[in-house]
Every structure is written in structure tokens, then in C-alpha cells.
Amino acid sequence: MRLVASVLLVSALSSGAFAQVPPSESELGNYSGLHKAAAFGDVEAIKRGVNHGDPVNSADRQQRTPLHVAIFQKKYDAARLLLQLQADPNRLEFGRYDIITIAAVANDLEGLNIAIEGGGNSRALTSIYSGTALIAAAHLGHVEVVRRLIAAGAPLDHVNNLGWTALMESIVLGDGGNNHTETLRALVSAGADVNIADRSGVTPLQHARNRGFAAMVKILESAGAR
């Protein structure tokens, strides 16, 4: 029964069943004020709204601030301006995502740089899994995002509430292809612990071998994995 449950969980995670929820078309159409301005990248409307006293950290029904919306919509000038106007870069929306993790999941390197340079905390615990942006990016094989987060000081060996590190997720939620392999390589090169096992005591090397991920096995063995 435990094996079946684990397989179902990996399948659900891999298919994005627990993915972030950006504003829907309906929500975008119903926005007003700073949320509307952020959604459409209208920097002049943002300036006018703040000058008129609109709270820069106001939230919609999903606890998204205008800054969350700007990052979701990839409205970079709006995001930069909101940060300059003291928008909170570490605020969590309803799904417990901050702007760093939103950008990381979207493989949005420019948005990620804006978030980090604007004061976002690369070490923050986010999502219902109490993970990190690095774990989310490793899960998805977003190599350049992983490298940027490592450079920003993201914790390499944080274990989320599924019992997995970023390194482990690059294997158990990856496909063994180039992106996940290079993600693993980046984590190993940065000094991630290659021997942190899952809750069943299965190590990253054992998972890689079981899945037939030969390139990953080679990287792990070269790093002294057991």
C-alpha cells in the first residue's frame, strides 16, 4: 500500500497536480486598482494609484498582492516599480508561494533576478510542502534557475515535508534527461549532500540506479554517493 501511495504521489507531483495557480482570465478581467495595473504592466497607473493612497500590499481573494500578479504575468517593469514602492518581496499568497518561487516554477530567470535583487529571500520556506524555490526548480529541471538560486544562497540540503531535498527531487521527480541531469550536476558541484536518503532509507544513488538514469548514477558515484 505504501508503494502504491508513493507512486500516486510522484505521478501527481510530476503532472503538476499541485501547481501554482496564477490569476485566471476571469480574475484578470475583474481586477481594479493596483492589481489591474500590475496585471497589464501599466506603470503609470501604479504610480497614480500609490500617490492616491492605494496600499501597495493589498491582496485579492487568493492573497495575491499586485507584486505577485506582476510576476505571474511577467510584467517586469511593473514588478520593479512595485518593489521600489516598498511592495513586500517575501509575502506569501494563498498557496504559500512568494515571488521567488513563482518565478522559479515558471523558469522565469528575469523575474527571478528581479525578485532576488528586490529583496526576496532565497532561503524562504514556501508551498504546502514546506520546500524552497530551489527544490521546486530542481523538481522541474530548470537548470539556469537552479544555478541562480544556488548563487543567491539557497539552502542546498533542506528536506521538505515529503522527505526530499532538491537533489532527491531532481531524480525522483525528474525524467533522467539532460535538464534534470544538469540540475543534479549543478547541485552536486555546489556541495549538496549526495547521501541524504528519503524516509524509506533509499538514497539518491539507489533511486537513480532503480530508474536507469545512467548519467545521474555516474555523477553521484563520482561524488562519493553510496
On whether residue 116 sits in a domain, the answer given is no
On whether residue 111 sits in a domain, the answer given is no
Determine the pLDDT at residue 19: 73
- Which domain, by its residues, includes 75? 26-88
On whether residue 36 sits in a domain, the answer given is yes
Residue 2 CB contacts under 8 Å (≥ 6 apart), including other chains: 200
On whether residue 61 sits in a domain, the answer given is yes
C-alpha cell belonging to residue 10: 510522484
On whether residue 75 sits in a domain, the answer given is yes
Q: Can you say how many angstroms the Cα of residue 154 is from the centroid of all Cα atoms in its chain?
A: 11
Residue 126 phi/psi, 5-degree rounding, is: -135, 165
User: Residue 183: which of 209, 207, 156, 211 has the closest Cα?
Assistant: 156
On whether residue 68 sits in a domain, the answer given is yes
Determine the pLDDT at residue 225: 98
Determine the pLDDT at residue 25: 97
List the pLDDT tens digit at each of the 226 positions of the chain. 444 334 435 544 554 435 789 999 999 999 999 999 999 999 999 999 999 999 999 999 999 999 999 999 999 999 999 999 999 999 999 999 999 999 999 999 999 999 999 999 999 999 999 999 999 999 999 999 999 999 999 999 999 999 999 999 999 999 999 999 999 999 999 999 999 999 999 999 999 999 999 999 999 999 999 9
On whether residue 76 sits in a domain, the answer given is yes
On whether residue 200 sits in a domain, the answer given is no
Domain count across the chain: 1
| Spatial separation of the C-alpha atoms in residues 186 and 192, rounded to whole Å | 9
Residue 40, domain CATH: 1.25.40.20
Determine the pLDDT at residue 11: 46
